[in-house]
Amino acid sequence: MEIKNFINNQWVGEHANGKALEKIANIGPATGEVIGSLPRSGADEINQAVQAAKKAFPDWSQTTAEIRADFLNRLADQVDANAEALANAESLDQGKPVHLARQMDIARVAKNFRFFASAILQETSMATHPQKGLLNYVLKKPVGVAGLISPWNLPLYLLSWKIAPALACGNTVVAKPSELTSMTAHLFSQLAVKVGLPAGVLNIVYGYGNEAGQALVSHPEVPIISFTGGTQTGQTVIQSSAPYFKKLSLELGGKNANLIFADCDFEAMMESTLRSSFLNQGEICLCNSRLYIEESLYPRFVEEFVQRTIKLKVGPPAEASSFMGALVSRAHLEKVMGFIQTAKDQGGKILCGGKKSDLPKPFSDGFFLEPTVIADLPENSACIQEEIFGPVVTLSKFSQFRESIEKANQVKYGLSATVWTQDLTKALAAAEQLSVGTVWVNTWMQRDLRVPFGGQKASGVGREGGHHSIEFFTESTTVNIKY
């Protein structure tokens, strides 16, 4: 797939002076082969997109919520109608199994658009506070050109989670997907043209983060940035946008604890813990990579968990029986392997996994890694403190409730946590005491899209979801009239 920038509803592969843009080779994670290319865009291309979005803003921001909701619903219909092509492209580009791309990523893209199409129609944009002789009311207005930057783990799912509310609120958009996974954004731009989205409302520019991404974050005419990616990069985004006082929403890394108490529903916990540890090759910021098991349950847990982890199939992404596909890039595979080596150096015990999976041709050069379980690490070790973002989990014990909370909270991240217990008091106390943005009790990755989603500490700033996204993607003006 030869991807081109999508600017003003045109696919553009050249600089403004007509010279072809340099191309970045896109490597397929399952084979390590080149599967296409994307443009290496820079500040000029970002500026072209911003000017197109600026030009489209007056008309688009004046449309009614009904008209915008109708566009979002038609985009959702197009996503459903093209789900197979989108799921295959996502799998080919990111390495995840096709069945996971279909039922997790692409299904959620359509849901994101439908959700915000209805949310914008329910929004009470004028809160009035009448007093005797003084009328106070609040206007909610679109902000302008929204800069949306998305990562490579759930490419179109997370990009749509930003595009949908941004457009619903009347903003126009310049999006910059991860250079590792740009294919579904390109396919999505074709759907936008198909539904007749006016030119310049949605623009997508491809390229490296420190070039195109950096140019978008520091563009003076982009007053709002929604970013999902690494904690390190989040800091750069804050610094680059600081001179402009931009509105920022940052959803960053996580190092989420899974607290497993002896009184839990063991089978339900086990089933869910295998998913929350290794789903999407462990490349979900909400994965639970730190498992804390109550001492009395530990022997039974370890035996069962290791046995079932070994049975998880790492295979060709197109096969329905593959639970895990390939990691997103060679560099990421090496990074995760580096953590496993460090774990060994720091006295950790590899209970299973730890090696690259060897698959037959044409997958022998793919970035496949066995699901890995590491025990007996000190709490201050790198694998327990740092985000690995791969199919690697650590096991630790606790004996007291208080100890489980202290261990869960002792990392710099604060995105989410999961608690397995049948004791209501314990569950409620844990939810109160865990310093994270989201707590799951006896489940994982289930939530109503109206709740605020995001992290605290090094996991980010701000919340998106339901009304919180609408708050973020609008500016409010308070009007006070004396009569």
Instruction: Give the range of 1-9, 174-182, 337-345, 469-477 binding ligand TXE by CB under 6 A.
Output: 174-182
Could you tell me the two tokens for 133?
Answer: 């002789």
Q: Degrees (nearest 5) of the Cα angle 423, 427, 430?
A: 140
Query: Closest by alpha carbon to 472, among 481, 463, 459, 480?
Result: 463
> Considering the rule CB under 6 A, would residue 230 count as an interface residue with ligand TXE?
yes
Nearer to ligand TXE, 156 or 260 (CB): 156
Find the radius of gyration of the CA atoms of the chain. 23
Give the shortest CB-39-to-ligand TXE separation in angstroms.
Answer: 13
Contacting ligand TXE (CB under 6 A), which of 8, 82, 91, 153? 153
Under the criterion CB under 6 A, does residue 226 sit at the interface with ligand TXE? no
Should residue 214 be labelled a site residue for ligand TXE when binding is judged by CB under 6 A? yes
Assess 369 for contact with ligand TXE (CB under 6 A).
no
Give catalytic status of residue 2 as yes or no.
no
Instruction: Give the one residue of 90, 179, 370, 471 binding ligand TXE; rule: CB under 6 A.
Output: 179
The helix-helix angle for 65-81 and 155-168 (nearest 10°) equals 160
The nearest distance, CB 350 to ligand TXE, in angstroms, is 21
| Cβ atoms of residues 271 and 420 within 8 Å | no
Asked if residue 213 binds ligand TXE (CB under 6 A), the reply is yes
CB 95 within 8 A of CB 317: yes
Q: Is the peptide bond before 198 cis (omega within 30 degrees of 0)?
A: no
Closer CB to ligand TXE, 212 or 260, in the complex? 212
Member of 62, 118, 210, 239 binding ligand TXE (CB under 6 A) = 210
Pair 400, 386: CB distance under 8 Å? no
The contact mask relative to ligand TXE for 384-423 (x = CB under 6 A, - = no) is ---x-x----------------------------------
- Which of 151, 315, 317, 371 binds ligand TXE (CB under 6 A)? It is 151
Whether 251 is catalytic is yes
* Closer to ligand TXE by Cβ: residue 223 or 315: 223
- Residue of 169, 285, 287, 383 with catalytic role: 285
Specify the residue, 287 or 291, whose C-beta has the smaller distance to ligand TXE: 287
- When binding is defined by CB under 6 A, the residue of 3, 24, 279, 285 that contacts ligand TXE is 285
Tokens 């279909």 found at: 102
Residues 6+ positions from 336 with CB-CB distance below 8 Å: 327, 369, 388, 389, 390, 391, 392
CB of 415 to ligand TXE, least distance (A): 7
Comparing CA positions, the residue from 309, 332, 385 lying closest to residue 94 is: 332
β-strands 172-176, 202-204 pairing:
parallel
Q: List the beta bridge partners of residue 418.
A: 258, 440
Give residues 232-261 in contact with ligand TXE (rule: CB under 6 A).
233, 236-237, 251-253
Q: Which residue has the tokens 């994982």?
A: 444
Q: Which amino acid is at 9?
A: N
Helix (H) / strand (E) element for 394: namely strand 392-398
Residue ranges that bind ligand TXE, judged by CB under 6 A: 149-153, 176-179, 209-210, 213-214, 217, 228-230, 233, 236-237, 251-253, 285, 387, 389
Active site residues: 251, 285
